[in-house]
C-alpha cells in the first residue's frame, strides 16, 4: 500500500483485521510519519481546538502485523510489479493499492502564493489564526483557486465559523464577508446548496456565483475571474489548487493533473485486477473526503479477503459518503448519500454539531484503526 494518510492506514488496518497473516502480508510505504486529522483545520484558525490533539504518530495508528516503511515512492512499474523508493528500495507485490492523496500546487494560479491564506494543512491553519485574530475589520473574501478540492463543504464551514467568531467578538458589523463559487448556488448538490444559500442570507454573507479564479493581483489586492469579474479584499482565504502526485504522472498511471483513472465501483486501475486506487488519488467525480476513503477501504478490504479465501466477491463500492458539515453557531448538518440515492431534505442541528465536534476522537479511536 502506498500512502500513509487516511486511506492508506484504513485499508491496511481493515485488511489486516479481515485477512489472516498467513494469507496476506501487508506493507505500508509512506512519507508522513505523523498523521494530521485535516477536518480540524476548520477549527484551528479560531483556536476552537488545540492542534496538538489533531496529530498522532502513525506507529500508534497502524495495527500490529503490518510493516510500515517511512519512505517516498518515486516510481511504479505495473508491468514488472515493482515499486521504487527514494530510500533505494525496490519492492515487489501481488496487489498494489495506491492511496497517495493529492498535493497543493499554489504555482498554478498567478499571485496565489503571496496573497492567499488557507487552512488546508496544519502550518497554514496556524498561520491563518494570526490573520484572523489580528483582523480589525474590512472585507474578507473566501473561495477556491480551482477544482477539484478536498472536502468541498470546507469553504462553507470556514465562512460560517468566521461569522460566528466575529459575532462572538462583537465586531460582526465591521466585517464584510463575500463567498466566491464557480457554478450556480453555494454547493454542487442542489439540496445542500439551497440549505447553505439560506444560512448565508441569514448570516449576511454575500455569494458570488460563476466566479472561476484566473489570477490574483497582489498590488491592488484583487481576485480576477475568467468571467471578467473582480473582487477586492482585505483578507483573502482561498483554498489552494490541488493535483495528484507527480510520480503517478511520471509512471504513466495518471495524466498531467496526477489523478488516476479507476473503475468507479471496483476501484481498480483500468484493465488491471491487481492495482487499486482509493481516497483522494482517484479521478472519480465524487467528493474527495476521508469518509469516501473509509467506505472504499471497507469494500476493497472485503474484496481482498474474498479473493484470497475463494469466496464470492462483494458488490463494488456504491458511492457511500457520510460527513458532518459545520454551519456555525453550534449547528451542523449530516450529509449521507450514495451513487444511487442523493441526499434528501436537510436541516442543521446541535446534535450534528456534536457529531462533528467529537469526530477527531471517533476517527483516532476507531475509524482510522479499521474498527468501524
Ligand atoms: C480542511 C479540511 C477539512 C476536511 N474535512 C473533512 C471532513 O469533515 N470529512 C471528510 O470525510 N473529509 C474531510 N477532509 C478530506 C480528507 O481529509 C481527505 O479526503 C483525506 O485525508 C484523504 O485521504 P487520502 O489518504 O486519500 O489522502 P491523504 O490523507 O492526503 O494521505 C496521502 C498520504 O500519501 C502520502 N504520500 C504521498 N505521496 C507519496 C509518495 N510518493 N510516497 C509515499 N507516500 C506518499 C502522504 O505523505 C500522505 O500521508 C478535509 C480536508 C481538509 C483539508
Ligand 1 atom with minimal separation from the 247 CA: 41
Inter-CA distances, 368 with 51, 71, 281, 372, Å:
18, 20, 18, 8
How far apart are alpha carbons 303 and 337 in whole angstroms? 22
Find the mean pLDDT for residues 91-108: 98
**Within the chain, which residue ranges are assigned CATH 3.50.50.60?**
6-101+245-318, 113-241
Distance 337 CA to ligand 1 centre (A): 21
Predicted local distance difference test score (pLDDT) of residue 344: 84
Ligand 1 surroundings by CB, under 6 angstroms = 2-8, 29-32, 38-39, 41-42, 72-73, 99-101, 119-120, 150-151, 154, 245, 247, 279-281, 288-291, 293, 323
Inter-CA distances, 78 with 73, 86, 150, Å:
14, 18, 27
Q: Which residue, chain included where needed, has cell 480551482?
A: 146
Percent of the chain with pLDDT over 70: 100
Predicted local distance difference test score (pLDDT) of residue 246: 98
Tens-place pLDDT, residues 224-262: 999 999 999 999 999 999 999 999 999 999 999 999 999
Ligand 1 atom with minimal separation from the 154 CA: 3
How far apart are alpha carbons 291 and 46 in whole angstroms? 24
6-101+245-318 to CATH, choices 3.50.50.60, 3.40.1440.10, 1.20.140.10, 2.40.30.20: 3.50.50.60
CATH of domain 113-241: 3.50.50.60
Instruction: Choose among 286, 261, 285, 287: nearest CA to 275.
Output: 261
Whether residue 142 has pLDDT greater than 80: yes
Find the mean pLDDT for residues 285-303: 97
Q: Which residue, chain included where needed, has cell 476552537?
A: 48
Q: Among 1, 2, 8, 244, which residue has the most ligand 1 atoms within 8 Å of its CB, making it the best to mutate?
A: 8
Phi, psi of 148 (to 5 degrees): -80, 160
Percent of the chain with pLDDT over 90: 98
Instruction: Choose among 176, 192, 83: nearest CA to 137.
Output: 176
Predicted local distance difference test score (pLDDT) of residue 197: 98
Tens-place pLDDT, residues 186-212: 999 999 999 999 999 999 999 999 999
Whether residue 304 has pLDDT greater than 80: yes
Whether residue 371 has pLDDT greater than 90: yes
Find the mean pLDDT for residues 74-98: 98
Distance 156 CA to ligand 1 centre (A): 19
Whether residue 121 has pLDDT greater than 80: yes
Q: 3-state DSSP call for residue 31?
A: coil
Distance 225 CA to ligand 1 centre (A): 28
Ligand 1 atom with minimal separation from the 278 CA: 26
Predicted local distance difference test score (pLDDT) of residue 345: 76
Whether residue 86 has pLDDT greater than 80: yes
Rounded mean pLDDT of the chain?
97
Distance 5 CA to ligand 1 centre (A): 5
Predicted local distance difference test score (pLDDT) of residue 83: 98
Instruction: Pick the range with the lowest mean pLDDT from 71-85, 147-161, 208-222, 338-352.
Output: 338-352
Amino acid at each position: 500500500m502506498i500512502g500513509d494518510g487516511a486511506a492508506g492506514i484504513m485499508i491496511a488496518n481493515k485488511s489486516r483485521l479481515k485477512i489472516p497473516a498467513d494469507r496476506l502480508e501487508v506493507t505500508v510505504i509512506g512519507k508522513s510519519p505523523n498523521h494530521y486529522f485535516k477536518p480540524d483545520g476548520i477549527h484551528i484558525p479560531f483556536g476552537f481546538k488545540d492542534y496538538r490533539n489533531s496529530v498522532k504518530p502513525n506507529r500508534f495508528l497502524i495495527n500490529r502485523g503490518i510493516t510500515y516503511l517511512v519512505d517516498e515512492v518515486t516510481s511504479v512499474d505495473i508491468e514488472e510489479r515493482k515499486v521504487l523508493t527514494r530510500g533505494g528500495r525496490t519492492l515487489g507485490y501481488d496487489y498494489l493499492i495506491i492511496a497517495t492523496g493529492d498535493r497543493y500546487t499554489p504555482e498554478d494560479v498567478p499571485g496565489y502564493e503571496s496573497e492567499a491564506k488557507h487552512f488546508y494543512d496544519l502550518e497554514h491553519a496556524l498561520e491563518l489564526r494570526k490573520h484572523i485574530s489580528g483582523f480589525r475589520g474590512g472585507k474578507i473574501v473566501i473561495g477556491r483557486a480551482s477544482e477539484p478540492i478536498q472536502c468541498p463543504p470546507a469553504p462553507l464551514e470556514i465562512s460560517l465559523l468566521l461569522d460566528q467568531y466575529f459575532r462572538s467578538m462583537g465586531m460582526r458589523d465591521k466585517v464584510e464577508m463575500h463567498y466566491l463559487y464557480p457554478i450556480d448556488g453555494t454547493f454542487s448538490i442542489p439540496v445542500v446548496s439551497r440549505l447553505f444559500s439560506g444560512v448565508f442570507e441569514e448570516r449576511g454573507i454575500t455569494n458570488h456565483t460563476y466566479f472561476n479564479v484566473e489570477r490574483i493581483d497582489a498590488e491592488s489586492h484583487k481576485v480576477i475571474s475568467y468571467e471578467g469579474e473582480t473582487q477586492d479584499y482585505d483578507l483573502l482565504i482561498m483554498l489552494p489548487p490541488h493535483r495528484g502526485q507527480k510520480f503517478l504522472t511520471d509512471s504513466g498511471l495518471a495524466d498531467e493533473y496526477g489523478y488516476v483513472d479507476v473503475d468507479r465501483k471496483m476501484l481498480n486501475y483500468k484493465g488491471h485486477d491487481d492495482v487499486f486506487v482509493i481516497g483522494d488519488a482517484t479521478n472519480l467525480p465524487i467528493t474527495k473526503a476521508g469518509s469516501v476513503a473509509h467506505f472504499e477501504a471497507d469494500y476493497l478490504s472485503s474484496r481482498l479477503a474474498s479473493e484470497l479465501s475463494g469466496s464470492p466477491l462483494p458488490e463494488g463500492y456504491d458511492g457511500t459518503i457520510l460527513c458532518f458539515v459545520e454551519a456555525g453557531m453550534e449547528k451542523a448538518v449530516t450529509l449521507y448519500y450514495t451513487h444511487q440515492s442523493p441526499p434528501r431534505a436537510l436541516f442543521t442541528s446541535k446534535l450534528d454539531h456534536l457529531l462533528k465536534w467529537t469526530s477527531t476522537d471517533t476517527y483516532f479511536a476507531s475509524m482510522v484503526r479499521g474498527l468501524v
